[in-house]
Amino acid sequence: MNAPALAPWHLHKAAAAVRAGGIIACPTEAVWGISCDPLNQMACERLIALKRRDWRKGVIVVAARFEDLPSFVLRPDDIAMQRARASWPGPNTWVFPVSADAPQWITGAHPSLAVRITAHPLLRALCARCGPLVSTSANLSGRAPARTISEVRLQLGKQLDYIVPGALGGRSTPTRIRDVLSGEVLRA
């Protein structure tokens, strides 16, 4: 994936927006996504309301490294962990068990959390600067995910705190989601 370099001030503005509790849009592996700080309850609730998404679904959290994820994401046995690590960084999302103190505003009605260690250069750079981020498609629930910055602006633009310019990662479909404990595919 050879995305053009992002100007440092775009990263700075995006990171500042996230740290201030804002919601940003940025390109991901296949579609445009919207992101916020997963530990900021108000930002997450605002993101879910913005999308008109059912809170019970939970969200995906992306990071630059597994070690950057919050401590409530439980590390499975070595075999399961090797399965996930073999696919990362990359366009593979794994559902991990979480401890009882995991915030419901990101897990939804699940005792687990979907996690991806992204290979998308821009998203990795943002995670390296901000820490893990919520990453969900930039669209209103029930509509097709945005594939261009213009589509992001049309659906969500005025409600976002910053839109990070950049290129999608070249995938034609959103990432596959699998259960880390069983390897079962939850979304193809």
Q: What is the pLDDT of residue 1?
A: 44
Residue 188 · residue 176 · CB < 8 Å: yes
Show Cβ contacts of residue 95 under 8 Å, excluding neighbours closer than 6 positions: 110, 112, 113, 114, 115, 177, 178, 179, 180, 186
Contact in structure between 58 and 96 (CB atoms under 8 Å): no
| H or E element in which residue 151 lies | helix 149-156
All domains of the chain in start order, with CATH: 8-187 (3.90.870.10)
Tell me: pLDDT of 34 over 60. yes
Residues linked to residue 168 through DSSP beta bridges, in sequence order: none
Q: What is the pTM of this model?
A: 0.93
Q: What is the mean pLDDT of residues 136-142?
A: 94
State the Cα–Cα distance between residues 117 and 127, nearest whole angstrom. 10
pLDDT 10s digits, 113-131: 999 999 999 999 999 999 9
Percent of the chain at pLDDT > 90 equals 89
Looking at the predicted structure, is the pLDDT value of residue 5 above 80? Answer: no
CB count within 10 Å of CB 79 equals 9
DSSP structure class, residue 73: B
